[in-house]
Structure 1
Amino acid sequence: MKVENILSQVIEICLRIFGIWPDSSCVLLRRFYWIIALVIEQILQYQYIIIHFYSMEFFEVIIMLGETMAFSIVLIKFIIFWYKQRTFDRILTMMATDWEKCCSAEFSMFVTTCNAKLSRRFTNATVALYSMAVIFYSSNIVVKHTDDDKASNTSTRPLVMNMDLPFDLNRKYVYELIIIIQFVHLLLCSCASGLLNALLINLILHVGGQINILCEWLMEIFPLKEKRDLSLFMIKKIIKKHQQIIIFSEHIEDLYSNIALMLFVSDTLIICCLGFVMVASVGTPDAVKMIIRTLLFYFVVNLEAFTFCFAGEYLSTKSNSIGDAAYNSFWYESNSKDSRTIFFIIMRSQKQLTITIGKIRNLSLEQFSSVIKASASYISVLLAMS
């Protein structure tokens, strides 16, 4: 299977690291490593919350819960992609086929290339944004190190991710090594989560480009100035193209539907937790430090929810354009036998292509607004409780 230049090289490298990219070496070992690493990290974090629950401030507990839930989401994403490996392989195969076919047509090549460039820009922006979020979130290490007395105390020695580790951090180079490992782990998991979201945009833009190609064919199938019988080859080509778009969209739905369901539950809670921390920290001595640490994280989680909702909205809108293109073609200039052919395409395009939230509801921008409203409601409840 030739998959060169189909997706951004950044996405390919990330998927190879986490054992998702097809035909990667030592896939089972990579998956086993990340399962063990994420499970151990989750156990240590939740253990820290349980042990220090009554000794921490309420907003500190909330921010730690948001942090641990974010890692739980990453693990669930990996498990879903590993379980749906065959579906992902089919998607890459179909994309490779589309790239090979578009080389012979100037318009098709132009549309596909433009969408690929846009996808790469979005991917690079995602990596930069998520990396900055990790750097700002880890800024508490720099701030707390200004107090040397506290840094010398093991019980208060700051970590990137708060954990109760079963060994002494005061030993030579141990603390520095743990900080580096935690930072790299946080950076990799954060970028992986963002790139899996960017992958969805890559796939949606690709199918959008294929829909544009199909619409162009539909506009050209009926000549305006001369009446002639439709080419049977062209009719088969259009129908086959439409069917491939439908199958490709169904694969995307199969791959991301359960992830969307999980995200809409978890992101609502995380947005609520981070929003509460920023609001509750206003007026406190550490307000600036807390807002700087959580603001970009808050923005990234909102962007994640918006990305999924935008993808569903975009796919639904583009699928409607197939029926519009068929109707706006010059089918009325053809004879009645040939014009009836286009009716089947119009009827089939009436069923929207979409991504669902666990087969329950369609992803749309309206759903994003409902997430923001629900999070705001929960924030007000937490403020009343605190």
Structure 2
Amino acid sequence: MMSNRSISRLIVIGLRLTGIWPDSSYEIVVRCIWIVIMVFGQILQYRYIIKQISCGGNLTNVIDGLSTALPYSLLFFKLISFWINRRLFKNMLMEMSQDWINSSKFNIDAMINKTKLAYRYSKLIMIVYAIAVFTYAGVFLEISRQNQDEEFNITSRQLLIKMDFPFTYYESPLYEYVFVLQFFQLFSNASAIAMLNALIIILIFHVGGQIEMLHEALENIFVKNHKSLRNVVKPLIDLHYQIILGSENIENLFSYIALMQLLCNTLIICCIGFLIIVALNLHMNIEELINILLFYIAITLEAFVFSYAGEYLSNKSLSISTSAYGSSWYLLDPRDRRIIILLMIRSQRQLTITAGKFMDLSMQTFANIIRTSASYISILYAMY
């Protein structure tokens, strides 16, 4: 597989460890391991939720279990989608590598700047999720220690992830083994979620770098030196076509993932918001509240990343028409002029990422998620 300058080494490692990177070693084995781990974990998580509902358990426990089960279900859906669309993803990577080769005809500084910016955002996303995981585990251990100091009851030991095991787990050293396995699962799942969120940012910024190159090429048209369609206009049209093709590939890969993302994020944000309100009303300790807030920030960031990606792509694509109109197209030969006019007309159709082909991703979509979640929180709190 050819190298790709747009994707950082950290993301490539994550793609290999999840069986997504094309033609990687032990690809099938890695996928089978993920399927076994995810299916086993999901069964135990939903067993806990069903048990709480059937036994008439506390609504807080049901929502707490649901808020941790849904992100893993969403991750499982994302992995399956990437595995099914592995040929499309491989073609995208090959086209991105070819874009770097073709960019030698233009000023490559815009592509490099966007790639560096994508690297920074990728690291930031990974750091946020890593902090959330280690803080969650640290607070859990601190709360467990405080409970043991007050009144130790071995049967009241809590799990890091809400699951219903078919065996007794609270006796040592089995409890410690289960805790380590759950922490490993939590860290690996959070890393995979962060990696896939960073991936869409990288893909979007790659297209954004190409659009920046097109802007600069349109602004630097010198009519007296450009009389040949082949030498000037044709590379611009080819670059615009690659931009359209790249955005369509992103849309085909992420459309249904985005739909599930919006639905799950709405429910998860609703559940976590409800837990925050309950924690404030019950005057829980500051450690538990911080734990919930970090989880809320991580999930909200996930919804924001997809919405921002759609908003960024839409605005960037529409700016091509403005840039083309601001160039010296009217001084070109009639033959070349018509082609630039067609580029303006085509660029007025904005490039978007949709959620299931029926709703564009934008910051308005993110605002709707927060607004809808707040409405559901009020309903849950009224039932509590």
Instruction: State the TM-score bracket (shorter-chain normalisation).
Output: over 0.9
Alpha carbon RMSD of aligned pairs, Å?
1.9
Note closer, same or farther for the CA distance 1:359–1:152 as it changes in structure 2 (3 Å cut): same
Q: In the alignment, which residue of structure 2 is the partner of 1:120?
A: 119
Kindly provide the CA deviation profile for residues 269-308 of structure 1, in whole angstroms up to 9, marking residues without a partner as x.
1000000110122131425343112101111111111111
Q: In the alignment, which residue of structure 1 is the partner of 2:209?
A: 209
Kindly provide the CA deviation profile for residues 73-124 of structure 1, in whole angstroms up to 9, marking residues without a partner as x.
110110111111111111111111122233565x21x112111111111111
The yes-or-no answer on 1:11 pairing with 2:11 is: yes
338-347 or 45-54: which moved more? 45-54
CA distance in 2, matches of 1:244, 1:254: 15
Counterparts of residues 12-91 of structure 1 (less than 5 Å): 12-53=12-53, 54=55, 56-91=57-92
Q: In the alignment, which residue of structure 2 is the partner of 1:260?
A: 258
> Which one-letter code corresponds to 1:281 in the other structure?
A
SS of the residue corresponding to residue 363 of structure 1 reads coil
Q: In the alignment, which residue of structure 2 is the partner of 1:134?
A: 133
CA distance in 2, matches of 1:288, 1:188: 27
CA distance in 2, matches of 1:228, 1:239: 15
138-147 or 205-214: which moved more? 138-147
Q: In the alignment, which residue of structure 2 is the partner of 1:338?
A: 336
Instruction: Calculate percent identity across the aligned residue pairs.
Output: 40
Counterparts of residues 223-242 of structure 1 (less than 5 Å): 223=223, 226=224, 229-242=227-240
CA distance in 2, matches of 1:88, 1:228: 37
TM-aligned CA deviation for residue 65 of structure 1: 0.7
- The answer to whether the Cα contact below 8 Å between 2:44 and 2:165 also exists between their aligned partners in 1 is yes
- The answer to whether the Cα contact below 8 Å between 1:45 and 1:68 also exists between their aligned partners in 2 is yes
Note closer, same or farther for the CA distance 1:69–1:151 as it changes in structure 2 (3 Å cut): farther
Note closer, same or farther for the CA distance 1:143–1:228 as it changes in structure 2 (3 Å cut): closer
139-148 or 164-173: which moved more? 164-173
Residue 326 of structure 1, aligned match among 316, 324, 339: 324
Q: In the alignment, which residue of structure 2 is the partner of 1:275?
A: 273
TM-aligned CA deviation for residue 174 of structure 1: 2.2
Note closer, same or farther for the CA distance 1:358–1:2 as it changes in structure 2 (3 Å cut): same
> Which one-letter code corresponds to 2:133 in the other structure?
V
TM-aligned CA deviation for residue 5 of structure 1: 3.4
Q: In the alignment, which residue of structure 2 is the partner of 1:383?
A: 381
Note closer, same or farther for the CA distance 1:228–1:278 as it changes in structure 2 (3 Å cut): closer
TM-aligned CA deviation for residue 364 of structure 1: 0.8
Q: In the alignment, which residue of structure 2 is the partner of 1:301?
A: 299
Q: In the alignment, which residue of structure 1 is the partner of 2:189?
A: 189
TM-score, reference length from structure 1:
0.93
CA distance in 1, matches of 2:255, 2:189: 21
TM-aligned CA deviation for residue 152 of structure 1: 6.2
CA distance in 2, matches of 1:240, 1:206: 16
- The answer to whether the Cα contact below 8 Å between 2:330 and 2:337 also exists between their aligned partners in 1 is yes
- The answer to whether the Cα contact below 8 Å between 2:52 and 2:58 also exists between their aligned partners in 1 is no
Note closer, same or farther for the CA distance 1:146–1:32 as it changes in structure 2 (3 Å cut): same
- The answer to whether the Cα contact below 8 Å between 2:111 and 2:212 also exists between their aligned partners in 1 is no
SS of the residue corresponding to residue 68 of structure 2 reads helix
CA distance in 2, matches of 1:60, 1:286: 15
Q: In the alignment, which residue of structure 2 is the partner of 1:162?
A: 162
Q: In the alignment, which residue of structure 2 is the partner of 1:291?
A: 289
Note closer, same or farther for the CA distance 1:172–1:154 as it changes in structure 2 (3 Å cut): closer
Give structure 2 stretches of 5+ with no counterpart.
none
> Which one-letter code corresponds to 1:179 in the other structure?
F
Runs of at least 4 residues off by over 6 Å:
149-152
Q: Number of residues paired by the alignment? A: 382
Kindly provide the CA deviation profile for residues 37-60 of structure 1, in whole angstroms up to 9, marking residues without a partner as x.
111111111112222344643222
Q: In the alignment, which residue of structure 1 is the partner of 2:102?
A: 101
CA distance in 1, matches of 2:253, 2:83: 10
> Which one-letter code corresponds to 1:76 in the other structure?
F
